[in-house]
Amino acid sequence: MKSLGAFVLSSIMLLCCISCELITEKKTQVKDKLFPTFDSEISDTPANKRRFAEFIKVKLSPDVKNIYCFDDAIGINSDYMFSFSCNEATAQEIIEIHNLDIDTINVDNAFSLQHDFDWWNKEDIRKLQKYSWSNGNNYHKYFWYDSRLEKAYFFDFDL
C-alpha cells in the first residue's frame, strides 16, 4: 500500500510540474504575440530567432547566426532592423522571398530612421549594394549583403 501511495503522489507531482511548464510556455507565447521581444543587446536569443523567422521568412539554417534585431513600433510609423551572418545562398533566398530588386539609384538608405548599434554600421552598409522593395506607397524593405564578410542587414519600415 505504501508504494501505491508514493506512486500516486509522485504521479500527481509530475502532472503538476508538466502542467506548470505548459502554462508557463503558453503564457510566454501569448505575451510574445502581444508584445514581441527584439533583443538588440545579445545575439541569437530565442526571441531574435523567432523574429528572424517572422520577418525574414527563411529557414533558420546553420549558416544563419549572430542575429541581432531591433524594433521601433511606437507611434504611427514602425521600423525593424536585423543584422545577421549567412551564406550567399541564404542571402539569395531572402532576395527572392521578399521580391527585392537591385536598387540602381542606391541613394536613399533611410539612415535617418535607423538607430545606431555596433552591429548596424551605417558607413559599412552605405558601401554595399542595396536591394529594395516597396508597396508603391509607404511600406519598404531594404536588404544589403556583404559577400566577403557573409554579413546581411535587413530593414523593414513604413512611413
Q: What is the pLDDT of residues 97-145, one digit of tens each?
A: 999 999 988 777 898 889 999 999 999 999 999 999 999 899 999 999 9
Instruction: Note whether 63 and 24 are same-domain residues.
Output: no
**What distance in Å separates the CA atoms of residue 90 and residue 120, rounded to the nearest whole number?**
19
- Chain centroid to CA 2: how far? 53
Instruction: Note whether 117 and 149 are same-domain residues.
Output: yes
pLDDT band at 13 (very low <50, low <70, confident <90, very high): low
pTM for the structure as a whole? 0.80
Instruction: Note whether 44 and 99 are same-domain residues.
Output: yes
Instruction: Note whether 47 and 28 are same-domain residues.
Output: no
Q: Which of 101, 150, 99, 92 is nearest to 130 (CA)?
A: 101
Instruction: Note whether 66 and 127 are same-domain residues.
Output: yes
- Chain centroid to CA 123: how far? 22
Instruction: Note whether 28 and 59 are same-domain residues.
Output: no
**What distance in Å separates the CA atoms of residue 135 and residue 89, rounded to the nearest whole number?**
25
Residue ranges of alpha helices (H) inside the chain are 2-34, 46-56, 88-97, 122-126
Which amino acid, one-letter code, is at 108?
Answer: D
Instruction: Note whether 31 and 42 are same-domain residues.
Output: no
Instruction: Note whether 110 and 45 are same-domain residues.
Output: yes
Which amino acid, one-letter code, is at 157?
Answer: F
Instruction: Note whether 40 and 1 are same-domain residues.
Output: no
Q: Which of 3-7, 43-47, 133-137 has the highest mean pLDDT?
A: 43-47
Is there a contact between 80 and 71 (Cβ–Cβ < 8 Å)?
A: yes
Instruction: Note whether 117 and 131 are same-domain residues.
Output: yes
Instruction: Note whether 16 and 70 are same-domain residues.
Output: no
How many structural domains does the chain have?
Answer: 2
Number of CB atoms found within 10 A of residue 145's CB? 22
- The SS3 of residue 23 is helix
Q: Which domain holds residue 106?
A: 36-158
